[in-house]
Each structure stands twice: as C-alpha cells, then as structure tokens.
C-alpha cells in the first residue's frame, strides 16, 4: 500500500502526523508550505480541492479532512495494533462519537474563541466570553467522561485519546485552559507525554 502524507509543521496536519507515528505506518511525506500559498497551487488543488493540509493519498486516492483521515487510519491500521476498537463494537461507536465531538462540537467553540480574541474586525470581549463559557461547559462533559476511566474508551489508550487531546490541547493554546477540570488536565498531560506526540509538530 502506498501512502503519501501532505503536511506542514505546526498546522492542522500535526494530529495526523502524530497518529502516523503512533501507528508506525510507513509513508512518504510531502511538505506543503502553507505560508507561501503552496496549498493553492493547481498541482496541489488537483490532489486536495479543499486547498488545505492535511491530505493523505492512499494508492493514488486522496483523503482530506483530518477527522476522515483519523477514522480511516484507525480502522485500517489501529485495530490490529490495539489502538482502535474493532468494527461493530460499542467501543467503536464511542470512538467515532468522541472524535467527531472533538473535531466538530468542541472545535466550533474554540474557533469562535480564537476569532473573538485575535486582532481583527471580529475581535469582541463579549463574544470571547460566550465562547469561553461554551468551551468550559464542553470541558465539563469531557471531565465527567474521564472521571471513572483513565482513557477515553476505558482502561487502555487509543487513537481516540490522541484525536480528542489534540483538539483540547489546541484549545489551551487559544485560551480555553483545562486548569479547572482535574480529570481532563491529568489525562491531557499523559497523552501529550507519549513518544508519538514528540517531534511531530
């Protein structure tokens, strides 16, 4: 199987880079310089019409959007390595739900917080306060999930932890700290300490 990973350091491609490292999946890597607009060249748009990273090309067929790539990697490589639940199990349903929760629900509040706090026409203290309140309510949900289990799906680490932690970690970067959520804070530190998370920025 041929895998070509299009990425840029310190970007939304970082979580996929970490997943590939965690799974120890052989692949070729192509750096797309998003600072110079390389993601908008005709050559790259022919691969990923979304014009962003990450993108993973599998035997000539591209998968774009980080969540889609994570779910495919989990199903294709993670089950055999004990890092993703088997198909048709309750744990698989939970993994898919929490990964989507992170990328869709939680990321929406984090994106709103970032827009409301960065310099520009959308900067607003009121909007930032609302977004931060929403983020904290969502962290309450995650904290409750982790109150009676060490990892997202139970006793063992999985790619679901990596996916959710990457989004929560990004949230801390834009101002949604986890200090008031003890279970989340401890869990996040454990995920971020894993070897696969080091050096994949």
Q: Is there a single domain that holds both residue 113 and residue 72?
A: no
Write out the H or E segment, with its range, that includes residue 130.
helix 125-145
> What does the block give as tokens for 112?
């709103």
84 within domain boundaries: no
183 and 96 in a single domain? The answer is yes
**Percent of the chain clearing pLDDT 90 (strictly above):** 94
Kindly indicate the confidence band of residue 103, based on its pLDDT and cuts at 50, 70 and 90: very high
Residue 61 lies in a domain: yes
Give the pLDDT confidence score for residue 122 in this predicted structure.
85
Q: Which residues contact 180 (CB under 8 A, 6 or more apart)?
A: 136, 139
Which residues span the domain enclosing 50?
Answer: 3-78
Based on the fold, state whether residues 102 and 73 are members of the same structural domain. no
pLDDT at 138 over 60: yes
pTM (two decimals): 0.95
Examine the fold and report which residue of 28, 50, 78 is the final residue of a domain before the chain moves on. 78
In the structure encoding, which two tokens stand for residue 144, read together?
């409750």
């Amino acid at each position: 199987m041929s895998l070509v990973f299009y990425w840029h350091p310190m970007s939304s491609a970082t979580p996929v880079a970490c997943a590939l490292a965690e799974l120890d999946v052989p692949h070729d890597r192509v750096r797309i310089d998003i600072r110079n607009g390389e993601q908008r060249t005709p050559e790259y748009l022919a691969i990923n019409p979304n014009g962003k990273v990450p993108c993973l090309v599998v035997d000539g067929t591209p998968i774009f959007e980080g969540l889609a790539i994570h779910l495919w990697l989990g199903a294709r490589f993670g089950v055999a390595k004990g890092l993703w639940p088997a198909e048709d199990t309750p744990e698989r349903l939970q993994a898919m739900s929490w990964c989507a929760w992170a990328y869709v629900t939680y990321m929406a509040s984090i994106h709103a917080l970032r827009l409301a706090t960065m310099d520009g026409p959308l900067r607003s203290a009121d909007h930032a306060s609302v977004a931060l309140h929403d983020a904290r309510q969502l962290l309450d949900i995650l904290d409750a999930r982790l109150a009676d289990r060490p990892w997202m799906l139970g006793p063992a680490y999985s790619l679901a932890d990596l996916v959710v932690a990457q989004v929560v970690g990004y949230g801390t970067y834009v101002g949604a700290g986890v200090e008031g959520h003890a279970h989340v804070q401890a869990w996040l530190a454990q995920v971020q300490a894993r070897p696969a998370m080091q050096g994949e920025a």
